[in-house]
Amino acid sequence: MNYLKLSLLSILLIPALVFAHGPARQKALVTMEVHASPAEVWAIVSDFCSITEWNSMVATCSASQGSEKGSIRTIEYDTGEKVTEKLFKNDAENMKMLYAMEQLEKGRIIKGLPIATLSTTISITPADNGASSLVQMKGAFYRAFPGPTPPEDQTDAAAIAAVTSLYEAGLEGIKAAAGGK
């Protein structure tokens, strides 16, 4: 009898548990060929605060320790929103940089970027026998709205579109900084 009660209780609770979790982790990936050597492209992106020079969506930047691992930068987007990001890797040999947004205040939604977290990797690889570069920006993030039915501008699709736009602006800026090639 107790086994039957436990089974029935489990059957009733499992659907509730399925809907109890928060938003799923999302990803964005944008790659662009830049007609400049990997070393030239790395020179553009390797300074942790050079983001203001190659991403039109970022207005200002200051970093606590320059481009050293562990540095915390505060960036202000063109919307006036400010966030802090921590540098986890700045690998000149492999031309790879990894940084992540610091925890936002609970309930805060960044105007134009409906995400709660974001980790980004920028990597540069040779193309066309080293005459060009493939620059890739990829990220993982969670949308800002924690519930199961977000407003239309805070859905997973809206978050993916916003991060993709951020990365596209960055890659277009890197391309322009490399001479527009």
For 113-118, what is the mean pLDDT? 94
Q: Is the pLDDT of residue 168 over 50?
A: yes
Q: What residues pair up with 60 in beta bridges, in sequence order?
A: 76
Total residue count of the chain as it appears in this document: 181
| Nearest to 136, CA basis, from 124, 127, 144 | 124
For 8-36, what is the mean pLDDT? 74
Distances (CA, A) of 110 to 31, 73, 153: 25, 17, 12
Provide the residue type at 164 as one letter.
Answer: T
**Model pTM score:** 0.86
Confidence of residue 10 (pLDDT cuts 50, 70, 90): low
Superfamily of domain 25-177: START domain (3.30.530.20)
For 30-43, what is the mean pLDDT? 97
Which segments of the chain are extended strands (E)? Answer: 26-34, 58-63, 72-77, 82-91, 96-101, 115-127, 132-143
For 131-147, what is the mean pLDDT? 94
